[in-house]
Amino acid sequence: MNLLFVLYSAAKLWIDKGSNYYAAAFSYYAPLALVPLIFFSIAVATFFYGGSFANQVFADWGAALGSELVEVIRGAVENLSQEANTSRVPIVAGLFFLGFYIIALNVISDGFERLWGRETSGFISFLIKSSRALVFLFVLQIYLVFVIGMEFFIMPAVFGSNSYISSGFLFLSSAVFFTALFRFLVVKSPSLKGCVVGGIVSSVLFVAIKSLVDLYIATTPILSFYGAAGLILVLFVWVYVLAALIYYGAAVAGIYGKIVE
């Protein structure tokens, strides 16, 4: 099987199916769901590892977004936490943010279905996608607990501080996450082999693009160009790039899955 043919066909499929528009739609909805999602993730991580450590982990992981944006997100999460502790978070607001999380994941699902030629519609389809989005929320928490434990406890104890080992673990953990996303978020997904290959391709792109975005943020004075709006711009860029590479990995999964079936 020619790998270049698969990659080329996936790129062509990505363009033909308008995946850039789905990535843009996801980048619109995702920031509205980001703060409550981080709040929930920190709460789960705090249960296992303690509050101060969990907050520091998420701050370190968010460093790629830039220190100013991390502080903005941290402040929003702390405000939400204080409101939750005083039981003043309105139910309507909670449902509002949960709704945007579901919409964001449904956009991902719709893009996958379009790429794989397995589009569904209707109210029942919406309910199925929404329920899978909620289940995936809990899968994500299990994944985060595992990754934190490996990255900050087990790996340092076994391998010490080794940047190559850390990069390798980032690649492997991302590949597992993307594979699970392709396989379980949509009912009619490609074969497991296709999802694994798509997950590996997405992981390679994620590690590579992460380095490029880190370099761009470090060398480009975004705040001097755009002021405070530059913080939101950084977030939109990161989310769009992430969504675009996820859709490309999904295209690879679909093409490879058809070949091996």
Type of residue at 134: L
How far is CA 261 from each of CA 94, 192, 222, 228, rounded to the nearest angstrom?
A: 43, 10, 47, 50
Q: Provide the number of structural domains found in the chain.
A: 1
Lowest pLDDT segment from 8-12, 186-190, 198-202, 236-240: 236-240
Q: Which residue segment(s) compose the domain that 113 sits in?
A: 3-260
Per the CB < 8 A criterion, the answer to whether 133 and 105 are in contact is yes
Q: Which of 195, 213, 176 is nearest to 249 (CA)?
A: 195
Please name the amino acid found at residue 167.
Answer: S
For the entire predicted model, the pTM comes to: 0.82
Mean pLDDT of 29-34: 77
Residues in Cβ contact with 74 at an 8 Å cutoff, skipping those fewer than 6 apart:
55, 59
CA separation for the pair 137, 140 (Å, rounded): 5
Query: First CA to last CA across the chain, in angstroms?
Result: 13
**pLDDT at 58 > cutoff 80:** no
| C-alpha span between 17 and 24 (Å, rounded) | 14
List the single range of 48-52, 141-145, 201-205 with lowest mean pLDDT: 48-52
For residues 118 and 186, the answer to whether their CB atoms sit within 8 Å is yes
**Tokens of residue 74, six digits:** 């941290």
Instruction: Kindly give, in sequence order, each residue whose CB lies less than 8 Å from that of residue 133, ignoring residues fewer than 6 positions away.
Output: 101, 102, 105, 106, 109, 185
Residue 107 has pLDDT above 80, yes or no: yes
Under DSSP, the state recorded for 221 is -
User: What pLDDT digit, counting tens, does each position of 62-76 carry?
Assistant: 555 555 555 555 555
- Least reliable range by pLDDT among 2-16, 79-93, 202-216: 79-93
Return the half-sphere exposure (C-beta side, CA atoms, 13 A cut-off) of residue 15.
Answer: 5
Residues 6+ apart with CB under 8 A from 144: 41, 44, 45
- Report the pLDDT value the prediction gives residue 46, as an integer from 0 to 100: 74
Stronger pLDDT, 239 or 194, i.e. the higher one = 194
**What is the chain's percent helix, strand, coil content, to nearest 5?**
90, 0, 10
